[in-house]
Structure 1
Amino acid sequence: MTVEITADVHERLAGYRDRFEPLFARYFDTLAQQQLPHSSFVPEALELVRDMSLRGGKRLRVALLYEAARLVTPDPVEGLEEAALSIELLQTHGLIHDDIVDDSPVRRGARSVYYAYRDRYPDREQTALGLAVLAGDLAAFWSVQVLLCAPVSRELCQAMAAVQATAGADTVVGQVLDLERDFGPLPDREVLDAVSEYKSARYSVLAPLQLGLLAAGADPAGHHEELARYARLVGVSGQLRDDYLDLFADTATVGKPTGSDLRAGRRSYAVCALLGATAGRDRELVEAALADPDCPPEMVEQVQGIARHHGVDRQLRADSRRIAQDAAAVAAGWRGRWRADAVEFFEHLPLWGAQRIS
C-alpha cells in the first residue's frame, strides 16, 4: 500500500517547523539574558546546548505534538509552544548523552558537545566528560522547567511536566538497555523491541501524543494502552527501517558511512538478523567485521552481499512494512472518537516511513 504525503500535510509540517525554529532561538536568547553566576563555563555550556539544539533535524516530534492537538480541535491551543520546546530540549539531552556513550565526534554535521569539550580541554579529558554530561543534564531539566512555566492552569502544567519527566526516565532506561543489548548472548526480538520502545518511541511518539491531547483538553489516561501500542509499533517499524538503511543504503542517503552499526558492534535488528541467518565462513566474515572500527568499505560490501544472499534485506523490509500497517490499524480505530483529518495523519505516518525502504 503506497500512501502519498499530500500538499496540505506538507504545508502543515513545514509550517510547524518554520514557526518552531525562531521560537527555539528566542528561548535560548531569554536564557542567556538571565542573571548567571560569574563564570565562563556556564555561558559556554549554554552556548553548546543552544548550538546543538538549533542545528535542526526534521522536528517531527513537534509536528506530532501539534497533530495530536488537532485530534481534538483545529483551533490554536495554549501551551503547545512550551510543550514543543520541552520535547526538543529532551531530544537535545538524549543526543548529548548518546554521543558520550557512543564516543561520537560528530552530530548533525558538526562537532558533538562531548567532542567540542574535548577540543577545548584536550589535557583535561575527565573535565570534558563531566562538562558534557552536565550540559546534557541542563537540557533535561530545562525540558521540565519550561512546561511548569507554561501560560496554562497549574493542573495542566503539572500534568504535562509529569508526562515529560516520565518520558525522560524511560529514555534513560532505554539507553541502559541499549548498552546491555550488546553484551552476552545474541538478544532476541523482545529485547530489541524493548530498546526501540524505551530509547525512542516513548519520548518521540507517545509523549508528544499525550502532551498534545492534554493541551487540547483531552485526557489521554483513558486511552493509554492504545496510544502506547501505537507508539511502540511506530518506534519498532522506524528502527527496523533505520537499521536497514544503515547496512544497505548508500552514504548519501543516510548521511553517514554505510555499516556504522556493524563497525560499532551494535546488535541492531539488521546485525542480529544477519548473525542469526549465517553460519560457517559467512558467519566468520560477519563476526570479523563486527566491532572493527577500521572495517573497510570493501568488507562492508561483502557483508551486504552475504545479507542479501540470506534474505536479510527482504526480511527487514517486510517486517518494517508489516509493523507499520499494524500501527496504522491502531490509529484507524480512533475514527469516530477524534477528528478525521488528524486521525488520517497518524494512520499514514508509519506507512510514510516504511515506504522509504520499499
Structure 2
Amino acid sequence: MDVLKKLSEYREKINDELERLLDEKIENAKKEYPGAADYLEWIRDYNMRGGKRLRPAFMVAAYEGVGGKEMDKIYKASASIELMEGYFLIHDDIMDQDDLRRGGPTLHVAYLDYYKKHFQGSEMRAKRFSEGMAIIAGDYVQSLAVEALLNSGFDQARIVEALKVYEYANQSTNFGQFLDMLSEEMKAEEVTEEHTMNIHKTKTSIYTIEAPLLMGWALGGGSEEQREAFSNYAIPLGQAFQLQDDILGMFGDVKKLGKPVGSDLRDGKKTILVIKALEKGSPEQKKKLLSLLGKLHITEQEIEEAKQIMRDTGALDYTRNKARELASEALEAIENVELAEEAKQYLIGIAEYLINREV
C-alpha cells in the first residue's frame, strides 16, 4: 500500500468536512453575532493552514478496520479530534510564546496586531487582550470539537463511548503538559527517563494515536480484543514517534527538515538523548553538555560538540534502539488482531513511515 497516498485521500475528505463545518459557523455568526464573524474567520484560517491530519486519519482507519461502513458519519465525527488539536495548539502557542504556527501568525500574535491597529493602551493591556482573545478562541474550538462528534449522526450510545475516549485524551494531554512544563524548570539531572517517557505517553501516544483509534473503534462497535490491540499499538508507537522526533531535532538533515537542528538543545529540553548522555558521560562531558543545554545563542560548533557527546556516550544509539524496540512492539500488536485488511495495512504502513521518516 502507498500509505502516503492513502493518508492524502483521508486528508482531502477530512479537510472538506472541517471547511464545511467552519464555514457553516461563520455564516451563522454573520446572522446571529455579526461582530464575531471576523473572529471565526481567524479561527478557520488557523485550523485550515495545513497539517498532516494524522489524528482524524487514525480515527477513520480504526472505524473501517472494525467494519464500519457509514463513511459520511465518520468523516463528520473525525473533525472532532482535529479540532481538539486546534484547541491544544492555540493554548500551547500562548504558553510557549510562539509567533508562528504552520507558516502564519499564532492567534495571540494576530490579536496583538489587531489591538495595536484599533486601540490605544499599554503593552500590558495589549498582551492581556491578545492572549485573552486567543484563550477564548481555544475554548470555542474545544466546544466545536465536542459538537462535531455529537452531530455526527451515529447512534447515541456509540457517541457517548466516543466522548468518554475524547475526555480521556483531553485530561491525559493536560496532565502531560503539566509534567512537561514542570520538567522545563527542573534541573536536568533531576529529570528521569521514566518522567520523560510518561510525557511522551500522555502528550503523544494517547492524544495523537490511541484516542483517535479508540474513538473510531467506539463508533464502529469494535470488539474488546480490537480495543486492546489498538492501545497496545498506540502507546509504544507514540513514544517511538517522539524519540525519532528528538533524534531528527538533533541529527536530522537541515535541508530535509527545513529548519535548523539543535533547537531542542537551545530550548533546554531534557530529551532522552540528553538524559542518557548525562547518565553515561564523564564529568567533563556532563559539564560541557549542561553548559550548552538552554543556551540561547548556541553556535553551530557547540551544537556539533553536543552531538558528539551524545554519540560518544551511547545516548544516540540507546535512543535509536529504544525507538526501534517500541516500534516493533506496536507493529506486533496490530499485525496479530483481526481487522479489515486495507485498514490493517494502512496502520502498519503509517507506523513504519512515522518511525523511519526523515522530516
Structure 1: which 5+ residue stretches go unaligned?
A: 1-5
Contact 1:32 1:43 in 2 (8 A): yes
Cα distance, 1:77 vs structure 2: 3.3
How far apart are the structure 1 equivalents of 2:346 and 2:317? 27
Quick one: which of 8, 27, 46 aligns to 1:14? 8
How far apart are the structure 1 equivalents of 2:143 and 2:330? 32
Equivalent residue number for residue 198 of structure 1: 202
Cα distance, 1:341 vs structure 2: 3.6
Cα distance, 1:235 vs structure 2: 0.8
User: Could you tell me the TM-score, scaled by structure 1's length?
Assistant: 0.89
Cα deviations by residue, 1:148-187 (Å, 9 ceiling, x for unpaired): 1111222222222222122112111111111122324532
Q: Is residue 219 of structure 2 the alignment partner of residue 218 of structure 1?
A: no
Q: What amino acid maps onto 1:350 in structure 2?
A: A
Quick one: which of 86, 89, 93 aligns to 2:83? 89
How far apart are the structure 2 equivalents of 1:43 and 1:298? 50
From the superposition, tell whether residues 318 and 340 of structure 1 become closer, same or farther in structure 2 (CA, over 3 Å).
same
From the superposition, tell whether residues 138 and 219 of structure 1 become closer, same or farther in structure 2 (CA, over 3 Å).
farther
Contact 2:49 2:102 in 1 (8 A): yes
Cα distance, 1:116 vs structure 2: 2.0
Q: Is residue 305 of structure 2 the alignment partner of residue 311 of structure 1?
A: no
How far apart are the structure 2 equivalents of 1:77 and 1:64? 14
Contact 2:254 2:260 in 1 (8 A): yes
Cα deviations by residue, 1:119-166 (Å, 9 ceiling, x for unpaired): 333531112121122211111121111111111222222222222122
Structure 2: which 5+ residue stretches go unaligned?
A: 117-122
Cα distance, 1:215 vs structure 2: 2.3
Equivalent residue number for residue 120 of structure 2: none
Root mean square deviation, CA, Å: 2.3
After TM superposition, the structure 1 stretch with the greater mean CA deviation from structure 2, 182-191 or 131-140, is: 182-191
From the superposition, tell whether residues 141 and 74 of structure 1 become closer, same or farther in structure 2 (CA, over 3 Å).
closer
Equivalent residue number for residue 119 of structure 2: none
Quick one: which of 95, 106, 110 aligns to 2:100? 106
User: Could you tell me the TM-score, scaled by structure 2's length?
Assistant: 0.89
How far apart are the structure 2 equivalents of 1:107 and 1:276? 35
Quick one: which of 181, 186, 190 aligns to 2:190? 186
How far apart are the structure 2 equivalents of 1:355 and 1:198? 22
Cα deviations by residue, 1:12-49 (Å, 9 ceiling, x for unpaired): 22211122222211211101011466564x33432232
Q: What amino acid maps onto 1:352 in structure 2?
A: Y
Cα deviations by residue, 1:87-145 (Å, 9 ceiling, x for unpaired): 11001111112211212112112222222223333531112121122211111121111
How far apart are the structure 1 equivalents of 2:59 and 2:210? 10
Quick one: which of 254, 257, 272 aligns to 1:251? 254
Q: Which of the pair is proportionally richer in helix?
A: 2
Equivalent residue number for residue 239 of structure 1: 242
* Percentage identity across paired residues of the two chains: 27
How far apart are the structure 2 equivalents of 1:236 and 1:59? 19
Cα distance, 1:189 vs structure 2: 2.0
Q: What amino acid maps onto 2:179 in structure 1?
A: L
Equivalent residue number for residue 127 of structure 1: 129
How far apart are the structure 2 equivalents of 1:130 and 1:267? 30
How far apart are the structure 1 equivalents of 2:72 and 2:157? 14
Contact 1:329 1:347 in 2 (8 A): no
How far apart are the structure 1 equivalents of 2:130 and 2:4? 41
Q: What amino acid maps onto 1:29 in structure 2?
A: D
How far apart are the structure 2 equivalents of 1:302 and 1:86? 44
After TM superposition, the structure 1 stretch with the greater mean CA deviation from structure 2, 13-22 or 225-234, is: 225-234
Number of aligned residues: 348
After TM superposition, the structure 1 stretch with the greater mean CA deviation from structure 2, 339-348 or 129-138, is: 339-348
Contact 2:17 2:76 in 1 (8 A): no
Equivalent residue number for residue 63 of structure 1: 57
Equivalent residue number for residue 26 of structure 1: 20
Contact 1:196 1:239 in 2 (8 A): yes
Q: What secondary structure is seen at the aligned counterpart in 2 of 1:79?
A: helix
